Structure 1
Amino acid sequence: MTTGQDTESAGGPGAQPGGVSRWTDLGGPVHYLDFGGPANGPVIVCVHGLGGSAVNWIAVAPLLTGTCRVLAPDLAGHGLTQSAGRGTDVVANRVLLHQFIESVPTGPVILMGNSMGGMISLLEADAAAGTVAGLILIDPALPFVPARPDPSVAMMFALSLIPGLGRAMLARRRRASPEQFVASILRLCCVDPSRITADVIARHIEVANQRVTFTGVDKDFSAAIRSVISTVGYPGGRAYRRLTRSVRCPVLLVHGTGDRLVPIAAARAAARANLAWSLAEFPGVGHVPQLEVPAQTAQVIAEWLNSAGRGAAQAAAGGPPGERGRRSLQGPRARAGRCGERPGSVGITPVPQAPPHTASCQ
């Protein structure tokens, strides 16, 4: 594994509401935002989704830094982290995430992943359980459930699998201005994009403007989206379903009922298959609750950290690297591994017993 020296562009100690832009070398430059937080608090590493970036977390992260240290890397081929010869599929980015955890926070963390980032977080929890004290999965990419998909979303994923049509779709994306591109993504991912504040939208447009000059963007995106589809569908669907049932750390599953990309049916099915998971449903919210309803998202996370996720919070508590390493082998980490608490704290929706009949598409 290649690790590197962290370099800071701005900022200081304590909470940083907009995030301090930093770089580290992990087989090439990796950009991340450091939102600060208490040095001895639980460390949360935020993992964005397909086509996203670290700025996907700027609305919710400041609401968590009163008790947690929050970091958000840009995965390879996303945000400001160019691929630079590195893979951009979910397996390659899982390895990059692992390197980031070992290089920057250097101890057990709570992974908070959205969409593809939730999938990558699950893969990391399975491959390197010692680095993951707990999982917060926000509308994660989950195994298919038998239901009718959203037509426009199904078409988008189908086109991505056909080389010629996939290239045409990506070329159309390139012709859009950064403002148009961000607006189209928010329309797809949100039930009500007007909930997102102007400053948060401006940060996303800023990143989109910077990415206009990057090379290999289409190739990077194609590799990522195909790997997501192959993991949840063919040929990896069965293995991924087994993996989601084998995770032993505490898990909070947060999902918007209006998600068009990963419908609530998939989240409810995952929660029924994993009775120790806590499920929080947000009515009338889409694929990115951390952007659409950040205060509600932060409240549910805080409640979980004080209840079913308490062991994870203790295991992910910060401090000197040596101290954090010892904690990973002691009581809190072991308690987190049992993952035996049932959902039901305030704000957590009990898992329905009857399977719903709604769309499923990833």
Structure 2
Amino acid sequence: MTDPDVATRSRDGRRAREQLLHAIPVTEQHVTAAGVPTAVLVGGDGPPLVLLHGPGEFALTWIRVIPDLVKTHRVIAPDLPGHGASGVGEGSLDVDRVLAWLGDLVEQTCPAPPHVAGHLLGGAIGARFSVAHGDALRGLVLVDTFGLRRLRPSPLFTLTLVNFLARPTEGSRDRFFRQCFIDMDALRGSLGPLWEPLMTYALAGAHSPDQKVALRSMMPPLGLRAIAEEELARIPVPTTLIWGRHDRQTPLSVAQRVSSRHGWPLHVIEGAGDDPAFEQPAAVVSALADACRP
């Protein structure tokens, strides 16, 4: 017999996803990439731009920037393996398979080499992919990315994250998100009717067995570990950093050091923590336009 709480969360999650999909100018497509059943949001025309979200998130967390980006780009925003409406497929989600997943996804969805913009874990995936397969990309944008040093969030951030992962409830979710955002109450107001479906879908994801498997598989090798400096130096494509000034996971000083060492332009987003595309979408759209300029 099905646990009624599980059935309710699943139903509420599906309803929330549908609400969010109807709010932005994209279509949802489904592909299989490296054996991973993958949900992909696609919209717009122009040079391709792939958006990779962070851990425990989903492609729809780019919801505040997609409406502007599709005016100038063909936007491809997948749910990472095990996240959102994507599955995990057969076999382990080790580094090689995750990079093969991105390569296969690019090949299937991009008519030309794309820019890849990755947030947190998505940035670490994009950076590692570009080291090995830079010829498949036109450029790389790292948004508060993991991988520039070993991940060491602030103690309070870590505590609220562990509590949310261990016991995902509305309360533990909100306590954790207050560590991610500078002003969650103002953000709730600016998002209006989109806030509740976003929060509902995030909570459904935290209960998802596939997402738990994906996080256990991908975070240690891709999110927690630093990319060696010599590997960063081998990234062959133009690379830009976009960083929230008040990031409590990877502080701005890390991005400043990497920017200085590798000559990568750095856009500092005021009034934002580790998710500037969510908190300050106009500033991030502007920074992305600069990074993706022909």
Q: After TM superposition, is the score higher than 0.5?
A: yes
Query: Is the CA contact 1:139–1:262 (under 8 Å) kept in the aligned structure 2?
Result: yes
> Which amino acid in 2 is paired with 1:17?
I
Q: Which aligned pairs between 1:1-362 and structure 2 lie closer than 5 A? A: 17-26=24-33, 27-34=35-42, 36-38=43-45, 41-144=46-149, 150-154=154-158, 170-173=165-168, 176=169, 179-180=170-171, 182-193=173-184, 194-196=186-188, 197-208=191-202, 211=205, 214-232=208-226, 237=227, 240-275=228-263, 277-306=264-293, 310=294
Distance 2:113 2:236 in 1: 14
Superposed displacement of residue 183, structure 1: 3.0
Distance 2:93 2:193 in 1: 29
Distance 2:47 2:251 in 1: 30
Distance 2:94 2:192 in 1: 31
Instruction: Report which of the two has the higher share of helix.
Output: 2
Superposed displacement of residue 31, structure 1: 0.5
Change (3 A) 1:108 1:289: same
Task: Name the SS of the counterpart of 2:90 in structure 1.
Answer: coil
Deviations 1:72-97 (A, max 9, x none): 00111111112133434554322211
Superposed displacement of residue 104, structure 1: 1.5
Superposed displacement of residue 22, structure 1: 1.6
Distance 1:206 1:101 in 2: 30
Superposed displacement of residue 188, structure 1: 2.4
Task: Name the SS of the counterpart of 1:25 in structure 2.
Answer: strand
Task: Name the SS of the counterpart of 2:142 in structure 1.
Answer: strand
Distance 2:167 2:207 in 1: 16
Distance 1:19 1:133 in 2: 23
Task: Name the SS of the counterpart of 1:270 in structure 2.
Answer: helix
Change (3 A) 1:22 1:100: same
Percent of pairs with identical residues: 25
> Which amino acid in 2 is paired with 1:201?
W
Superposed displacement of residue 182, structure 1: 4.9
Query: Is the CA contact 2:36–2:81 (under 8 Å) kept in the aligned structure 1?
Result: no
Superposed displacement of residue 156, structure 1: 6.9
Task: Name the SS of the counterpart of 1:140 in structure 2.
Answer: coil
Task: Name the SS of the counterpart of 1:186 in structure 2.
Answer: helix
What is the Cα-based RMSD across aligned positions, in Å? 2.7
Change (3 A) 1:217 1:67: closer
1:351 corresponds in structure 2 to none
Task: Name the SS of the counterpart of 1:128 in structure 2.
Answer: helix
Task: Name the SS of the counterpart of 1:301 in structure 2.
Answer: helix
TM-score by length of 2: 0.81
Query: Is the CA contact 1:145–1:269 (under 8 Å) kept in the aligned structure 2?
Result: no
TM-score by length of 1: 0.67
> Which amino acid in 2 is paired with 1:284?
G
Change (3 A) 1:133 1:49: same
2:6 corresponds in structure 1 to none
> Which amino acid in 1 is paired with 2:157?
V
> Which amino acid in 2 is paired with 1:252?
T
- How many pairs were matched up? 269
> Which amino acid in 2 is paired with 1:191?
I
Deviations 1:108-134 (A, max 9, x none): 000010011111111111111121100
Query: Is the CA contact 1:135–1:249 (under 8 Å) kept in the aligned structure 2?
Result: yes
Query: Is the CA contact 1:142–1:266 (under 8 Å) kept in the aligned structure 2?
Result: no
Query: Is the CA contact 1:76–1:87 (under 8 Å) kept in the aligned structure 2?
Result: no
Distance 2:225 2:153 in 1: 17
Change (3 A) 1:149 1:63: same
Query: Is the CA contact 1:44–1:109 (under 8 Å) kept in the aligned structure 2?
Result: yes
